[in-house]
């Protein structure tokens, strides 16, 4: 009769290292994609702070690209820069309507430089209202203005 020796198998650490490496690469790439859509600007900081932190609901962030003398140079949404002319606002409206069609609770967050005039932010509010109507929303769209957090 043959006696088989019991071998204790020790799991290798190589697959674990591979998985950890892939996760690190994934998170580095995702963080860079998220940063690409963020436009550097000097956000307003209200004093005293009369704002509330935003909840975790879905948000469509529209960046008002700073231009000369407080005017907008364009509107950036989902990595696409839309012009300030009628065609640009129409394309922004179509993009927002598509977002509202996917999730009707999506809020529009407007990021504008503190030097931006109200005339450069107001078209985004009109576009958001028209996009909500075009998407068939029966309730008003929620619009938030991004500000710097108090330090």
Is residue 79 domain-resident?
yes
Q: Taking a C-beta distance cutoff of 8 angstroms, is the pair 130, 143 a contact?
A: no
Is residue 87 domain-resident?
yes
Q: What angle do the packed helices 118-134 and 86-102 form, to 10 degrees?
A: 50
Q: Taking a C-beta distance cutoff of 8 angstroms, is the pair 92, 125 a contact?
A: no
Which of these ranges, 23-37, 87-101, 107-121, has the smallest mean pLDDT?
23-37
Please check the confidence at residue 103 and state whether its pLDDT lies above 70: yes
Mean pLDDT in the chain? Answer: 80
Section 87-92 average pLDDT: 93
**CATH number for 81:** 3.30.420.270
Is residue 90 domain-resident?
yes
Give this prediction's pTM. Answer: 0.64
CA-to-CA dists, residue 46 to 29, 114, 115, 116, angstroms: 34, 10, 13, 15
């Amino acid at each position: 009769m043959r006696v088989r020796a019991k071998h204790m198998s020790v799991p290798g650490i190589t697959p674990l290292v591979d998985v950890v490496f892939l996760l690190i690469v994934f998170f580095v790439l995702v963080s860079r994609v998220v940063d690409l859509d963020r436009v550097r600007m000097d956000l307003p900081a209200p004093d005293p702070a009369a704002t509330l932190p935003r909840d975790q609901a879905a948000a469509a962030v529209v960046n008002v690209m700073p231009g000369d003398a407080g005017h907008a140079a364009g509107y950036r949404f989902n990595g696409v820069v839309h012009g300030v002319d009628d065609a640009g606002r129409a394309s922004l409206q179509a993009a927002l309507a598509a977002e509202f069609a996917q999730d009707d609770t999506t809020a529009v967050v407007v990021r504008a430089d503190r030097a931006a005039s109200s005339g450069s932010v107001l078209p985004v509010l009109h576009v958001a209202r028209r996009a909500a109507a075009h998407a068939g929303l029966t309730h008003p769209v929620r619009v938030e203005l991004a500000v710097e957090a108090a330090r």
